[in-house]
Amino acid sequence: MLNAFDWLRRSRTGAELLATLEFLENKPDLFDEEEIGPPHSALSGPCQRCWVYPRAPASHRGTSRYCKACGAILTRSSRLGHTSRCSIVIWGVVNQLPRQLEGGEGFHDSHILGAYVHDQNHFLLVMRRRELKAWFRELAIYHGPDLKGLVQILPTTGIGRGVSMGDVLCRAFHLEARFSMDRLRVRFFSAPYQLLKPHTRDQLGLLTFEASEFLSLLEMAAVFRTLLRPEAQRALQELLNLDDASEEQFYWGRFLGYLSPEAKDMLSAWRIRQWPRNRIKLLYELVNYVAFYQPD
């Protein structure tokens, strides 16, 4: 019969994953199905989502296509689309579970939308995307260098995409075997298709980071988002992608004239014009994962 992780892997979208996590926590008896559905035929068959359990009894709307668990998940997920689009999935394999998960306390004020503990080394979290830095910093404060393993940051998927949410989870589970537990590493996937060929992103320096390095990158992205307005961010990106050095030099002076003194100092201190384009691309990806900077 299907266990909790089997149900999670059957999620086709991020919304279905959120709904499944919600029911696993609040209504676990929904998944206590013992009977296996009939074989597939022209007249009947099992649930058309899990393909294991029998379909729920027919309602006034006609014949049901799903078992009671799948029907409840699909109904609930239809109202979680917006939340899913603003969320990310954390899949971790570590030498010890974070204390907040081990003790069932939860992370403080970090907007965790769903949590699942697979075993004593694996855990899954769904959180709002812009809460990543706060969550990761809290993890570092609680555990410091004692926590070792791999934390993979995964995107959610929507309907009609080539890679389903279940595919993303299975791929992440498969990829973790390549890393030892000698330190804490982070792998950052900004799109589902990147899990199909992770080596391409890794060769560009956009995928695997030390934990302290990744936290520093998130801090930089938060400062960048705070000091530069969205239109200035777009203008800077276009400017840094110019191939003509003389044209870039001409527009650079005009661009600085529109910025605040704090923004000018930031760009000057970072020497952002000397950055390789892959690092600039990573910065702009991370801007979508941080809130405005708030000094401690």
**What is the residue extent of each domain of the chain?**
4-77, 85-216, 219-287
Mean pLDDT of 180-194: 94
- d(Cα 46, Cα 61) in Å, to the nearest integer? 19
- Given a contact cutoff of 8 angstroms between Cβ atoms, the answer to whether 283 and 216 are in contact is no
Q: How far is Cα 109 from Cα 148, in angstroms, rounded to an integer? A: 24
- Enumerate residues 6+ apart whose C-beta is below 8 A from 262: 227
Task: Note the pLDDT tens digit of each residue in 51-109.
Answer: 999 998 876 454 588 999 999 999 999 999 999 999 999 999 999 988 777 654 555 55
**Of 106-120, 134-148, 211-225, which range is least confident?**
106-120
Name the band, by pLDDT with cuts 50, 70 and 90, for residue 31: very high
Mean pLDDT score across all residues of the chain: 90
Q: Which CATH number is 85-216 given? A: 3.30.70
Q: Which candidate, 247, 227, 239, 246, places its Cα nearest to that of 287?
A: 227
Measure Cα distances from 10 to 109, 164, 174, 177 in Å.
Answer: 29, 9, 16, 22
Q: Is 240 helix (H, G, I), strand (E, B) or coil?
A: helix
Lowest-confidence pick of 51-65, 167-181, 201-215: 51-65
Contacts 24+ apart (CB under 8 A), 62-68: 67/33, 67/37, 68/30, 68/33
* pLDDT attached to residue 57: 84
Mean pLDDT for the stretch of residues 222-230: 96
Share of the chain above pLDDT 70, in %: 94
Q: Which residues on neighbouring strands pair with residue 210, listed in sequence order?
A: 185
